[in-house]
Structure 1
Amino acid sequence: MKTLIKFEEAAQVILSLVLFAQLPFAWWVFPALLLVPDVSMVGYVFNSKTGAFIYNVFHHKAVAILIGVLGFYLGNEYVLLAGIILFGHSSMDRMFGYGLKFDTGFGYTHLGEIGDLKK
């Protein structure tokens, strides 16, 4: 099952690349911005509950889609880019086993404990 989920997430990363290709930005912008959402880990400086909340807001696909749709309807390519980057990043993270966080600690995710993807 985990292999199937990884393929599904990989397909979503590819979708984000296809959507990005429709925008007028240089090719290097996508990889340059792809890890920016991980800045949200700064919340863990305060505590696990704050860290998980901030991290999950930046890694929730519904938030990414909402931002992307907002950018599309506003005709704002930068907001649309932000949504695509958030979506692609979240899909990439899930492909590698980094899911949404529980407030018990960074390593506890909705996909299981980080590093527990042996199957």
Structure 2
Amino acid sequence: MSPVVVQRVEAGMIAVLAVVVTVAAGYAWWWLLVLFLAFDLSMLGYLRGPRIGAFCYNVGHSYALPALVAAVAVTAAALGDPVGWLGVLAAAWFFHIGVDRAVGYGLKMTDGFEHTHLGRIGKAQRR
């Protein structure tokens, strides 16, 4: 199996895990869908050009920030002050990134939106 296929399967499993964690924590699964497009606001950076766009998109589509949000949510819960919406936000963010990568939308390169770390997407793929 190619490394790209492995990464896409892995991302799909993260999306599934986000659904399981959300439901197991007692929240409605549909929150993941309600929040799904919110994370694509990071694409607004492309209004300032491909370099800034790629940077903004990659910050919003890296697992680092949702991991930080999840860590804050778990720490708050462990200290007896649960902030449930933070956990749902982190799960929805993981879900979004997982689904994006599972279908081939990877981190962006600076030469255009259609060039990702998982390969070309859209019209660039068909060329």
Alignment RMSD:
1.8
Distance, in Å, in 1 between the alignment partners of 2:45 and 2:71 is 27
* Aligned partner (choices 23, 26, 29) of residue 27 of structure 1: 29
Q: Is the 8 A contact 2:69 2:87 kept in 1?
A: yes
CA offsets, 1:63-111, max 9 Å, x none?
Answer: 2111111122123111222211111111111101110111111111111
Distance, in Å, in 2 between the alignment partners of 1:33 and 1:3 is 26
> Gaps (5+ residues) in structure 2?
77-81
Asked if 1:106 corresponds to 2:113, the answer is: yes
Q: Is the 8 A contact 2:43 2:57 kept in 1?
A: yes
The one-letter amino acid of 1:60's match is S
CA offsets, 1:51-72, max 9 Å, x none?
Answer: 1111111100122111111122
1:60-71 to 2 correspondence within 5 Å?
Answer: 60-71=62-73
Distance, in Å, in 2 between the alignment partners of 1:34 and 1:111 is 21
Larger Rg: 2
Distance, in Å, in 1 between the alignment partners of 2:109 and 2:33 is 28
Q: Is the 8 A contact 2:31 2:92 kept in 1?
A: no
Q: Please say which of residues 39-48 and 71-80 is displaced more in the overlay.
A: 71-80
Distance, in Å, in 1 between the alignment partners of 2:52 and 2:5 is 31
The percentage of aligned residue pairs carrying the same residue is 33
Asked if 1:94 corresponds to 2:94, the answer is: no
Question: Which residue is 1:39 aligned to?
Answer: 41
Distance, in Å, in 2 between the alignment partners of 1:14 and 1:25 is 15
Distance, in Å, in 2 between the alignment partners of 1:28 and 1:82 is 12
1:79-90 to 2 correspondence within 5 Å?
Answer: 79-90=86-97
How many aligned residue pairs are there?
117
Q: Please say which of residues 4-13 and 98-107 is displaced more in the overlay.
A: 4-13
Aligned-residue offset at 1:24: 4.0
